[in-house]
Amino acid sequence: MMVNVERIKRDIETMAGFTSTPGDGVTRLSFSEEDRRARDYMKGEMERAGLVVYEDAAGTIFGRREGSKKKGKKAASIMIGSHFDSVPHGGAFDGTAGVVAAIEIARVMNEKGTVTEHPVEFVAFIEEEGGRFGSGLFGSRAIKGDVTVDDLKNAIDADGVSMYKAMMDFGLDPDGIRKAKRGKGSIAAFIELHIEQGPVLENEGVDIGIVEGIVGISEYEVEIIGSPDHAGTTPMTLRHDALVEASDLIIYVNELAKTVGEGTVGTVGKIRIEPGAANVVPGKVIMSVDIRSMDRMIMDEIWGKLKSGADVLKEKGFEVNYSNKLYVPPVSLDENIRDIIKSVAEKLGYKHRGMVSGAGHDAMVMASIAPAAMVFVPSKNGRSHCPEEWTDYEDLAKGAEVVLETLLELDKK
């Protein structure tokens, strides 16, 4: 094995220390002090691996290794990496595993004096989780050119700070966000290593998951406005209780997803109640709705039915408002790269299987820019987005080895 397991372990453990919740999982939100410390560490490691390091207008970090003169500096690059932000109280491996693997691959290539025809870029995406601003897949969407200045001004965190202001305070230029867009043909391929975040690979004793497709994700915010009245003096028959109506919608989301089946899921994972007092009838509820499926028509159908159900509340005297927070259609990943990954895994003696990702990843956005692929490595007990999240370092090293060999094979194409 060319990659160094001990270096991977050191990187993961060091990155896990950049958290605002020590002892209670990793909380590394975008444009925070923890973000800055993590990026300083990654940039330092990239530079030591011989890379030219820079950040784009969105705050995504790149380490670039030039290809041979045969292709020239303007040649399309092969890009590998993942994201380095986290959910609140998350684990040490989600996203970070892919970034650490990419940096380790850069070290190996530097130590061995590997020469590639294509430039290779090692990337650490910002704000993939949307944990602070609800703006998931932000770094990759900025590369695609899907982020506007208005988007930055409208994305607000729990403290009322806009993404626009947070970027300014962090030393970035939010007005120049469009500069993050990459030119057509500038990326030849993208490969993302990620933990599975599910139990399949571990349960089946499989080393490598070859991702065939990624479910589409639609995220909405639903606001229901009723009337905040006295809990003791307002009769049950005269109440406009926003929480009661929201509860019915939450159950409806669950029922719709179950009825459709076929791997479709629906989740209400965040809810805010106002005024939020024990003796006041809830006057306003703001809730999230997350719909995921490999079938775009099913995603749209569920949202349409849910919206129709919510619109009925208007006839009962409630105000109902909607906002679309994220819409990424389902994608199939590149078959040619998948075939290379399969061949490499077999050559290295690693058990592998194809699978569909039920979680969203930057690769689903990158797939609209360039041929893209994903490599999954096992998650202990399938746990993720929690402090207990774990992937054995040896398993992560196997994944890094597969990505390295796949990169080198791709470079020959």
- Tell me the domains of the chain and their CATH numbers: 5-214+330-412 (3.40.630.10), 216-328 (3.30.70.360)
Q: Are 62 and 182 in contact (CB under 8 A)?
A: no
Please report the pLDDT score of residue 63 as a whole number: 98
d(CA 367, CA 299): 20
Nearest to 322 by CA among 286, 274, 292: 286
Task: For Cα atoms 13, 138, 132, give the angle at the middle one, nearest 5 degrees.
Answer: 65
List C-alpha distances in Å: 33 to 41, 164, 166: 13, 17, 12
pLDDT confidence of residue 80: 99
Give the CA radius of gyration of the chain. Answer: 23
Q: Which of 180, 175, 156 is nearest to 60 (CA)?
A: 180
Per-residue pLDDT of the chain (413 residues; tens, 9 = 90+): 799 999 999 999 999 999 999 999 999 999 999 999 999 999 999 999 999 999 999 999 999 999 986 666 678 999 999 999 999 999 999 999 999 999 999 999 999 999 999 999 999 999 999 999 988 899 999 999 999 999 999 999 999 999 999 999 999 999 999 999 998 899 999 999 999 999 999 999 999 999 999 999 999 999 999 999 999 999 999 999 999 999 999 999 999 999 987 789 999 999 999 999 999 999 999 999 999 999 999 999 999 999 999 999 999 999 999 999 888 889 999 999 999 999 999 999 999 999 999 998 999 999 999 999 999 999 999 999 999 999 999 999 999 999 999 999 999 98
Q: Which two tokens stand for residue 82?
A: 């993942």
Please give the annotated binding residues for Zn(2+), written as ranges.
Answer: 83, 94, 129, 194, 385
- Prediction pTM value: 0.85
**Taking the mean position of all CA atoms in its chain, how far away is CA 350?**
26
Amino acid at 25: G
Q: Which residues are annotated as a binding site?
A: 83, 94, 129, 194, 385
- Confidence (pLDDT) at 413: 81
